[in-house]
Structure 1
């Protein structure tokens, strides 16, 4: 009798081992796909939330008051008849007051008095002037020009 019992246990162990070998890759793949699915669902939820935020931002631009506020804030626009004041950080402003009619003492002072679009325009003009000088033919110092 003990011999039959050991054969049955051995057969059962082989069957269970074979079942584990066959089922483990499938189970591991299933668990990995479930983890990926959970991650992708969270990414979709985050993308939908970002989309909702962007739609809300886009809807704000339909409001004329918001457009006016953005123009005032970003571009320093003022309505006709209003006086624009610019508050400057005291750490950046020089301690000495500028003399009326005098040119700014440095490029830093000039940059503080100009709005951003004037600074951009000045840089475009400087770049154009530099490009004009590069297009001119180079002359040697020893060669006389006609």
Structure 2
């Protein structure tokens, strides 16, 4: 029976110690300050550093983006200028050809070769001085366009 008693007293002691430990934990939890927020000092410092970097890099990034768009625009304009130069070179090469020059002089200036007879129809059978439908200013002789312009200005008074 003595062993039973010792066992019982050890079990009782362990139970009492467990109750005391639980009471201490409960009291310690009750004494603790209300739960702190999850934002610690390190997290606040990290957030401050990240915000500072964002603010510090915002202006240079905006400048970089705008400069990239300006570069793209300049490249587009350079390509257009290259195409225009190529077109002008082609036109210059055509004007170096004597047959082309002669054709242009015959069409636009109504030049004739020696021995040819040129005819110019004035009015075209109609009293109306406007060109027929489909005939633009480029399709008529230069002097027709000139006189038509003088007539229009004279009619305005």
Q: Same fold (TM over 0.5)?
A: yes
CA distance in 1, matches of 2:39, 2:73: 49
Counterparts in 2 of 1:58-97, with a 5 A limit? Answer: 58-87=92-121, 90=124, 93-94=126-127
SS of residue matched to 2:40: helix
CA distance in 1, matches of 2:112, 2:52: 81
Counterparts in 2 of 1:22-37, with a 5 A limit? Answer: 22-37=56-71
Q: How far did residue 84 of structure 1 move?
A: 1.4
CA distance in 2, matches of 1:88, 1:70: 22
Any runs of at least 4 consecutive aligned residues in structure 1 with deviations exceeding 4 A, and if so which? 1-5, 87-90
- Name the count of aligned residue pairs: 101
- 1:55 counterpart residue number: 89
Q: How far did residue 88 of structure 1 move?
A: 5.6
SS of residue matched to 2:61: helix
Q: Which has the higher helix share?
A: 2
CA distance in 2, matches of 1:3, 1:53: 72
CA distance in 2, matches of 1:54, 1:2: 78
**1:75-115: CA deviation from partner (whole Å, max 9, x where unpaired):** 1101112221335664x8328xxxxxxxxxxxxxxxxxx98
By relative contact order (CA 8 Å, sep 6+), the higher-ranking structure is 2
**1:33-85: CA deviation from partner (whole Å, max 9, x where unpaired):** 00000000000000010011111111111111100011111211011122213
Structure 1, unmatched stretches of 5+, are 96-113, 121-146
CA distance in 2, matches of 1:26, 1:8: 28
> TM-score when scaled to structure 2?
0.54
Structure 2, unmatched stretches of 5+, are 1-34, 129-140, 148-157
Counterparts in 2 of 1:1-146, with a 5 A limit? Answer: 2=36, 5-87=39-121, 90=124, 93-94=126-127, 116=143
CA distance in 2, matches of 1:2, 1:48: 68
